A and B are shown apart, each in its own frame.
Chain A
Amino acid sequence: DADVTQTPRNRITKTGKRIMLECSQTKGHDRMYWYRQDPGLGLRLIYYSFDVKDINKGEISDGYSVSRQAQAKFSLSLESAIPNQTALYFCATSDGTGGSYEQYFGPGTRLTVT
């Protein structure tokens, strides 16, 4: 089984709809991240969480919100989806202890907003 899972893997939704992307991990890591990837723009950080009670905005948080329901679960919500939120979304985790900053990514969610 994969260590970091994301659901759904693909989603098509309409402008104005609320949508939630979910991420779960079995690595036991405290740190979790949400990124989006667009062609030509690379990976950009949306939100990150260093533990269950810690939520921080990333580079491009406008239009998004997150919830850290447990150490293993980190959800990303689009309250009112718009077409320019069409992208590939990745969740990632890291241990962060002892200077270990390697991040482990989920398989991604391909979101299309029409």
Chain B
Amino acid sequence: RKEVEQDPGPFNVPEGATVAFNCTYSNSASQSFFWYRQDCRKEPKLLMSVYSSGNEDGRFTAQLNRASQYISLLIRDSKLSDSATYLCVVTVYGGSQGNLIFGKGTKLSVKP
């Protein structure tokens, strides 16, 4: 089983749609979780951290289920500018504490 798994997509949605991305991770000892956004040929940038209680930032909501080792990202009222690849990221446990494991990403395309 891969350490961080995501549906690669692409997700093609119309403007205004709600879209959800899912991610599973294999190491139950992972401590920190993130969603990064990567535009085509650009560097990844932190979108939001993911907390056990769930957290929201405007149109974006992230959820964590430690028991199921599952992370989600919900985007409401999609905008054209949301088109990007979304990377699910978890920390490594142990000697290289703080190192990140990246999923391969889910591509989102928002259409007019």
Contact = CB atoms under 8 A, between A and B. Distances in A.
Contacts of A88: 41
A108 B98 contact: no
Interface residues of B, number: 20
B12 interface: no
Chain A interface residue bracket vs B: 20 to 34
B102 interface: yes
Interface in B14-53: 31-32, 34, 41-46, 49
B98 A96 contact: yes
A48 B101 CA distance: 13
Given A42-B105, A90-B43, A107-B43, A101 B96 contact: no
Interface of A: 31, 33, 40-43, 45, 48, 56, 58, 88, 90, 94, 96, 99, 101-103, 105-108, 110
